[in-house]
């Protein structure tokens, strides 16, 4: 800042002159300032409304059970850590860390599956000219619009007949087979933006598709792969319907299903534990969000823009 070059100074001086000759009425400047203030206040108000449920949940974890129902406000009257102690002990004979571990295995497995299979498919769609490309690409886009619920019954019957119910395989196998079109589509969009010069040069040098994919495209699309990984993790972490269908024994439950356990058995009395377990289940997602929000927001923006 302090090392402004002479050229910039000169330009600034010129601009000041122009401003001076234009003589913007003071009223207009004032109006602009007011508009900015109103703009800021309105957005702050929206932020407060949007974040209120989250803040409320966080502060509720410190409320003793007796305060639920009598104190709907933000601040606990008699803050306590009892809820955390209770939740850490687990429920239905299963320790809390077990639910966490299950969630983590499912989410991490999903990330690996999604990134591998979606990157392969996206490379084929974006960079290889093959017979049937058009119709298969259209089919992929079609699955983007397909309601997932049409598939739950036949898929359940399939996995049930294979004896795979109450294992993680029905939850993970689809991820390794790129069934989530969102990721394939996102990566196709991203690969198409990449300049073709490098892979064309590599082809002339005799590199095949495997080589180009591995040493040129994959490093180039790293940001998109990170975006996909975070989404895959968070979606698998938050998924409810899949585990609800396929996991039957409590020691296999991931957090969302375990939460229901808190809910069903003790919801009449133990609001504190329910709130605290809910908050703990959200923590990894919130942490991911805080660290990677730029990737997430940019990823969504790219997905919607170029069709």
Partner 1 sequence: MSNTTATRVIVTGRKPAGRSLFRRSTPEHADRSVQKRRARRETLAGYGFLSPWLLGFFGLTLLPMAYSLYLSFTKYNIFQPPEWIGLDNYVRLFTDDPTFVQSAQITLVYVVVGTPITLAAALGVAMLLNYRDRGAGFFRSSFYAPSLIGGSVSIAIVWRAMFGNDGPVDSVLSAIGIDLGGWIGNPALVLPALILLAIWQFGATMVIFLAGLKQIPKELYEAAEMDGAGPYHRFRAVTIPLLSPVIFFNLLLGLIGAFQVFTSAYIISNGSGGPAGSTNFITLYLYKRGFSDGQMGYAAAIAWVLLIVVAIIAFILFRTQRSWVHYSGDAR
Residues in 242-271 at the binding interface with partner 1, rule: CB under 8 A:
244-245, 255-257, 259-260, 263-264, 267, 271
Distance (Å, whole) CA 121 – CA 274:
41
* Closer CB to partner 1, 105 or 282, in the complex: 282
**Interaction between residue 284 and partner 1 (CB under 8 A):** no
79 binds partner 1 (CB under 8 A): no
Looking at beta carbons only, is 196 or 306 nearer to partner 1?
306
**Position 165 contacts partner 1 (CB under 8 A):** no
- Cβ atoms of 116 and 179 within 8 Å: the answer is no
- Is 159 in contact with 169 (CB distance < 8 Å)? yes
Q: Per CB under 8 A, does 226 bind partner 1?
A: no
Positive or negative torsion for Cα 49, 51, 53, 56? negative
Residues 88-107 interacting with partner 1 (rule: CB under 8 A):
none
* CB-based contact 219:242 (threshold 8 Å): no
With CB under 8 A as the contact rule, the residue among 61, 155, 189, 229 that binds partner 1 is: 155
Name the segment binding partner 1 (CB under 8 A); options: 7-15, 54-62, 76-84, 102-110: 54-62
Q: Phi/psi zone of residue 78: left (φ > 0), alpha (ψ -120 to 50 degrees), beta?
A: beta
Task: Choose, by CB under 8 A, the member of 80, 207, 209, 211 that binds partner 1.
Answer: 209
* Closer by beta carbon to partner 1, 97 or else 240: 240
Of the two residues 1 and 290, which places its CB atom closer to partner 1 in the complex? 290
Select from 100, 156, 198, 207 the one that contacts partner 1 (CB under 8 A). Answer: 156
Smallest distance from partner 1 to CB 257, Å: 8
Binding of partner 1 at residue 295 (CB under 8 A)? no
Q: By CB under 8 A, tell whether 41 contacts partner 1.
A: no
CA separation for the pair 104, 127 (Å, rounded): 34
Provide the total of helices (H) and of strands (E) in the chain, helices listed first.
15, 0
Binding status of residue 193 toward partner 1 by CB under 8 A: no
Angle between helix 133-145 and 181-193 (nearest 10)? 130
Does 147 interact with partner 1 (rule: CB under 8 A)?
yes
Is residue 211 involved in binding partner 1 (CB under 8 A)?
no
d(CA 149, CA 154): 10
Nearest C-alpha neighbor of 291 from the set 249, 233, 213, 211? 233
Of the candidate spans 8-16, 78-86, 191-199, 280-288, the one that interacts with partner 1 by CB under 8 A turns out to be 280-288
Stretch that binds partner 1, among 3-11, 90-98, 126-134, 191-199 (CB under 8 A): 126-134
- Spatial contact of 223 and 231, defined as CB atoms under 8 Å apart: no
> 185: left (phi > 0), else alpha (psi -120 to 50), else beta?
alpha
């Amino acid at each position: 800042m302090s090392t402004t070059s002479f050229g910039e100074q000169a330009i600034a001086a010129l601009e000041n002159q122009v401003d001076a000759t234009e003589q913007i009425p003071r009223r207009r400047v004032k109006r602009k300032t007011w508009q900015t203030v109103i703009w800021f206040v309105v957005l702050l108000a929206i932020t407060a409304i949007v974040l209120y449920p989250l803040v409320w949940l966080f502060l509720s974890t410190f409320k003793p059970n007796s305060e639920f129902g009598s104190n709907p406000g933000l601040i606990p009257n008699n803050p306590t850590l009892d809820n955390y102690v209770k939740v850490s002990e687990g429920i239905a004979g299963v320790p809390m860390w077990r639910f966490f571990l299950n969630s983590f295995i499912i989410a991490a497995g999903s990330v690996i599956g999604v990134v591998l299979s979606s990157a392969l498919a996206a490379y084929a769609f974006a960079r290889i000219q093959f017979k049937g490309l058009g119709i298969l690409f259209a089919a992929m886009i079609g699955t983007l619009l397909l309601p997932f619920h049409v598939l739950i019954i036949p898929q359940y019957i399939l996995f049930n007949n294979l004896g795979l119910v109450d294992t993680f395989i029905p939850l993970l196998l689809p991820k390794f087979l790129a069934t989530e079109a969102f990721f394939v589509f996102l990566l196709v969009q991203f690969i198409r933006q990449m300049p073709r010069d490098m892979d064309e040069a590599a082809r002339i040098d005799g590199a095949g598709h495997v080589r180009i994919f591995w040493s040129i495209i994959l490093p180039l699309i790293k940001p998109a792969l990170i975006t996909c990984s975070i989404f895959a993790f968070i979606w698998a972490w938050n998924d409810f319907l899949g585990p609800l269908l396929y996991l039957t024994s409590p020691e296999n439950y991931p957090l969302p299903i375990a939460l229901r356990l808190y809910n069903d058995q003790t919801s009449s009395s133990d609001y504190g534990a329910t709130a605290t377990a809910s908050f703990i289940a959200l923590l990894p997602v919130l942490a991911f969000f805080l660290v990677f929000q730029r990737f997430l927001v940019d990823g969504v923006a790219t997905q919607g823009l170029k069709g």
